[in-house]
């Protein structure tokens, strides 16, 4: 049996060590770098297309509320992108490490509320407020993770849920007027740059959300390719075998919680900037369950899974509310009208269909279809 202080050659190879085919000290041959660049081309194309949307004045009836670059459409798309990036942060825990946490909303809400409180109550400048929000959120994740990881499985999920519920109660009770209670906490507009304030500046908030998604995707991609990412994958596949091979599984899982929570706190701060304040919905267990649905829907453990699932879920949740109030429903039978007027029912049915026919999510299904078309 291998000692915990010495990593076997096979593990060193899988983690990019000296015996790795990628070369010494994690370096990569030119052919590997070329493959990485080729894989990045679709992502660059998607980002370029999304970045150009604020210049598109066309209307898409039934898809977006008004013009593509209109304030309503820009706000909707920005919200979808932010939630997609937050879902990607949850995928670090669930999809990459196999940790089922019901308390991820705690850290997203911490990033949002701490930024709002720092700007609106403590009168800190924006850069310092962002630093305070992310620093305190990371310390909170370290403390909660260190406690919750003392147990495993369902017990771990319940402990994280207990922490999130406690935070939700604190936010709702509005101690000292800090959180705003059920009404939420608005941002002090005077503390924000002018480009992020006002209806006419919706495209800049959209670009901020897009920038967050790009940063989150690059962060997760680099994490997955690092030694830490390989260790997380080993824990996800078989924690006992990873422990026998010399991995400190407790440290690996704690690192995953801290990394995912830090990224979630960044998403919470961006969410507050995009929506103009903090929403108590971010503190609820319902929001964490929504993140779980988004990750499974898009494809857990896939690079695009969390983003795709988050964007589609948020978009459908927003647009189905409008469809449920549409006039054409009155001409349908009573049973059909009642079903279509419930957005959550439609989302749930769609989720069941995807899980049944595409267990690996939409990205996994798309990958299989592309490979099948390539072989043909």
Percentage of the chain lying above the pLDDT 70 cut: 86
| Residue 280 domain flag | yes
Question: Structure tokens of 233?
Answer: 């994958």
Residue-range definition of the domain harbouring residue 119: 65-284
Total-model pTM: 0.86
| Residue 318 domain flag | no
Q: What is the pLDDT of residues 156-182, one digit of tens each?
A: 999 999 999 999 999 999 998 899 999
Residue 142 clears pLDDT 50, i.e. is over it: yes
| Residue 203 domain flag | yes
> What was the pLDDT predicted at 41?
83
**Residue written as tokens 């909170």?**
140
| Residue 195 domain flag | yes
How many domains does one find in the chain? Answer: 1
> What was the pLDDT predicted at 36?
63
| Residue 133 domain flag | yes
Helices in 276-375 by DSSP H: which ranges?
285-298, 305-324, 334-340, 343-357, 361-375
> What was the pLDDT predicted at 12?
40
| Residue 190 domain flag | yes
**185-186 and 277-278 strand pairing:** antiparallel
Q: Sorting pLDDT into bands at 50, 70 and 90, what band is 352?
A: confident
**Distances, alpha carbon 315 to alpha carbons 52, 241, 322, 336, 352, in Å:** 19, 41, 11, 22, 18
User: If you average pLDDT over residues 363-367, what whole number do you get?
Assistant: 81
> What was the pLDDT predicted at 331?
67
Phi, psi of 199 (to 5 degrees): -65, -40
| Residue 206 domain flag | yes
Judged on CB neighbours under 10 Å (0-12, 13-18, 19+), 239 is middle
Q: What is the pLDDT of residues 22-54, one digit of tens each?
A: 444 444 456 666 676 677 788 888 899 999 999
Q: Sorting pLDDT into bands at 50, 70 and 90, what band is 13?
A: very low
| Residue 51 domain flag | no
Instruction: Return all residues near 84 (Cβ < 8 A) that are at least 6 apart.
Output: 213, 294, 306, 307, 308, 309, 310, 311, 314
């Amino acid at each position: 049996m291998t000692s915990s202080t010495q990593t076997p050659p096979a593990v060193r190879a899988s983690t990019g060590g000296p015996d790795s085919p990628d070369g010494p000290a994690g370096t990569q041959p030119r052919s590997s770098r070329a493959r990485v660049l080729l894989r990045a081309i679709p992502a660059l194309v998607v980002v370029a297309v999304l970045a150009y949307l604020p210049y598109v004045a066309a209307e898409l009836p039934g898809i977006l509320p008004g013009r593509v670059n209109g304030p309503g459409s820009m706000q909707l798309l920005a919200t979808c992108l932010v939630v997609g990036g937050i879902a990607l942060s949850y995928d670090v825990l669930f999809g990459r490490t196999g940790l089922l946490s019901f308390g991820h909303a705690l850290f997203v809400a911490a990033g949002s509320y701490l930024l709002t409180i720092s700007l609106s109550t403590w009168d800190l400048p924006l850069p310092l407020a962002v630093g305070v929000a992310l620093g305190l959120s990371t310390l909170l994740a370290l403390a909660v993770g260190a406690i919750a990881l003392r147990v495993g499985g369902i017990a771990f999920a319940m402990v994280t849920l207990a922490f999130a519920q406690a935070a939700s109660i604190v936010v709702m009770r509005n101690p000292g007027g800090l959180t705003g209670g059920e009404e939420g906490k608005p941002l002090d507009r005077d503390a924000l740059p002018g480009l992020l304030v006002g209806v006419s500046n919706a495209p800049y908030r959209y670009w901020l959300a897009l920038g967050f998604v790009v940063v989150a995707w690059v962060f997760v991609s680099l994490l997955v390719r690092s030694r830490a990412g390989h260790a997380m994958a080993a824990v996800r596949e078989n924690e006992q075998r990873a422990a026998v091979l010399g991995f400190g599984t407790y440290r690996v899982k704690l690192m995953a919680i801290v990394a995912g929570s830090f990224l979630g706190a960044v998403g919470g701060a961006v969410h507050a900037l995009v929506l103009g304040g903090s929403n108590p919905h971010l503190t609820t267990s319902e929001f964490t369950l929504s993140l779980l649905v988004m990750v499974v829907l898009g494809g857990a453990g896939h690079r695009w899974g969390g983003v795709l699932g988050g964007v589609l879920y948020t978009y459908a949740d927003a647009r189905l509310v409008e469809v449920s109030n549409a006039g054409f429903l009155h001409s349908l039978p009573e049973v059909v009208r009642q079903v279509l007027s419930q957005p959550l029912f439609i989302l749930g049915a769609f989720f069941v269909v995807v899980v049944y026919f595409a267990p690996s999510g939409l990205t996994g299904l798309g990958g299989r279809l592309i490979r099948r078309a390539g072989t043909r």
